[in-house]
């Protein structure tokens, strides 16, 4: 019986050149009863034989390593062990952000920002490790453990919407799996969009600025990390800054961004709920709300507020989500007007704001 339970645990191998972080990862994973920590390697050269032998479910992979770095190792993992899932550990630097987003394009599922093991406080390191463990579990559940969600269809279907209603602003909430999903979404939206798209992607500081740069290669729409007080233009996409909160306000000239430190008790920065609530308050029935792949329930309360104000709500379907957390409850409770894959969401946004 014990052997049977042991096999059900999620197996993890860590690859990091820092002895401090190898010990931290070993301690954190070993304390979780759902995870079996298989060991650690100092770089990709030592990791690849271990992966071949141990066949872990997950490899937690440092970005910066001297002999065989994270990208080179990831490339080999994708070729030699395509079933092995990879989560990157990334430093909070622009170089770290660039390499991490490149890693996600190459097949890494997600990343966790890596506080400096020497200077960072114990609380920040603990938060990063907790986030990593949560992501391992959530991404593992994608492998058939998630049960299908019962979809509650709204009594008033899409046809009740006035066909000539003007939708001027679209707010998107997204988290785990976001960079790749956003690339697919924005590549399918035409450049003559008659409105503005605003995105809250769960990411730390620095990363969102480079995310905007990274996504600009896949769309003809203008895209940037939004600044406090910035007047939002049509045919443009704005990304909420990592580590900050974004609200969209009305002004005589049009929608304007308000970027703040936000309430300290809010765990997500940027928070989808805060963005959605501001859209509900200031743009009522001329807005579209979109909830996409991600862990947790951020965005649920904001969607309720948008529903009450007459916004049109879209959700990514379970089949196309990397993690079906954020869309799950809004769908279950019948808040959503239309549920679709990423292509369908792009087409609907284009039609409503065309």
For 30-62, write each residue's pLDDT tens digit: 999 999 999 999 999 999 999 999 999 999 999
Give the CA angle between residues 93, 97, 100 to the nearest 5°: 135
Which residue carries 């991490």 as its tokens?
100
Q: Give CA–CA dist 304/333, Å, rounded.
A: 10
Q: Which of 16, 62, 140, 202 is catalytic?
A: 202
202 a catalytic residue: yes
Q: Which of 62, 298, 311, 320 is catalytic?
A: 298
Q: pLDDT tens across 164-191, in order? A: 578 999 999 999 999 999 999 999 999 9
How many angstroms from the chain centroid is the CA of residue 98? 16
pLDDT at 6 over 50: no
Q: Give CA–CA dist 112/74, Å, rounded.
A: 16
Q: pLDDT tens across 263-314, in order? A: 776 779 999 999 999 999 999 889 999 999 999 999 999 999 999 999 999 9
Give the CA angle between residues 266, 301, 139 to the nearest 5°: 75
Q: Are 54 and 29 in contact (CB under 8 A)?
A: no
Q: Give CA–CA dist 184/215, Å, rounded.
A: 10
Which domains does the chain carry?
Answer: 8-141 (3.40.50.2300), 158-352 (3.40.50.180)
Query: Could you say which DSSP state residue 301 is in?
Result: H
The CA-atom distances, in angstroms, between 51 and each of 41, 55, 187, 261 are: 10, 5, 35, 42
Q: Which helix (H) or strand (E) holds 61?
A: strand 58-62
| Tokens, residue 232 | 């939002």
Q: Give CA–CA dist 7/203, Å, rounded.
A: 33
Q: What residues contact 52, with CB distance under 8 A and at least 6 apart? A: 80, 81
Q: Which of 175, 278, 311, 320 is catalytic?
A: 175
Q: Give CA–CA dist 73/78, Å, rounded.
A: 9
298 a catalytic residue: yes
Q: pLDDT tens across 243-272, in order? A: 999 999 999 999 999 999 987 767 799 999
């Amino acid at each position: 019986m014990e052997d049977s339970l042991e096999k059900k645990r999620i197996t993890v191998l860590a690859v990091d050149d820092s002895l401090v972080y190898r010990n931290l990862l070993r301690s954190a994973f070993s304390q979780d009863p759902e995870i079996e920590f298989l060991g650690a390697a100092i770089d990709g050269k030592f990791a690849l034989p271990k992966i071949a032998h141990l066949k872990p479910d997950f490899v937690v992979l440092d970005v910066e390593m001297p002999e065989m770095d994270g990208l080179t190792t990831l490339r080999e993992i994708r070729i030699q062990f395509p079933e092995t899932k990879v989560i990157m550990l990334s430093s909070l630097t622009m170089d770290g952000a660039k390499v991490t987003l490149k890693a996600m394009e190459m097949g890494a599922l997600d990343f966790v920002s890596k506080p400096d093991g020497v200077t960072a406080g114990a609380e920040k390191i603990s938060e990063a490790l907790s986030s990593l463990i949560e992501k391992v579990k959530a991404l593992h559940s994608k492998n058939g453990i998630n049960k299908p969600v019962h979809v509650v269809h709204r009594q008033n279907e899409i046809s009740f919407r006035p066909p000539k209603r003007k939708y001027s602003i679209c707010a998107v909430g997204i988290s785990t799996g976001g960079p790749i999903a956003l690339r697919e979404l924005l590549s399918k939206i035409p450049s003559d969009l008659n409105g503005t798209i605003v995105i809250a992607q769960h990411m730390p500081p620095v990363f969102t600025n480079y995310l905007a740069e990274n996504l600009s290669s896949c769309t003809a729409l203008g895209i940037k990390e939004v600044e406090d007080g910035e007047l939002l233009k049509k045919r443009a996409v704005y990304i909420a800054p990592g580590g900050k909160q974004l609200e969209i306000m009305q002004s005589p000239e049009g929608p304007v961004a308000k970027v703040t430190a936000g309430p300290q008790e809010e765990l997500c920065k940027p928070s989808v709920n805060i963005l959605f609530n501001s859209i509900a308050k200031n743009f009522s029935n001329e807005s579209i709300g979109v909830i996409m792949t991600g862990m947790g329930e951020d965005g649920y309360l904001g969607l309720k507020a948008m529903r009450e104000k007459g916004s049109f709500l879209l959700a990514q379907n379970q089949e196309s989500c990397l993690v079906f957390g954020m869309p799950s409850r809004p769908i279950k409770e019948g808040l959503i007007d239309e549920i679709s894959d990423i292509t369908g969401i792009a087409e609907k946004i284009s039609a409503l704001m065309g």
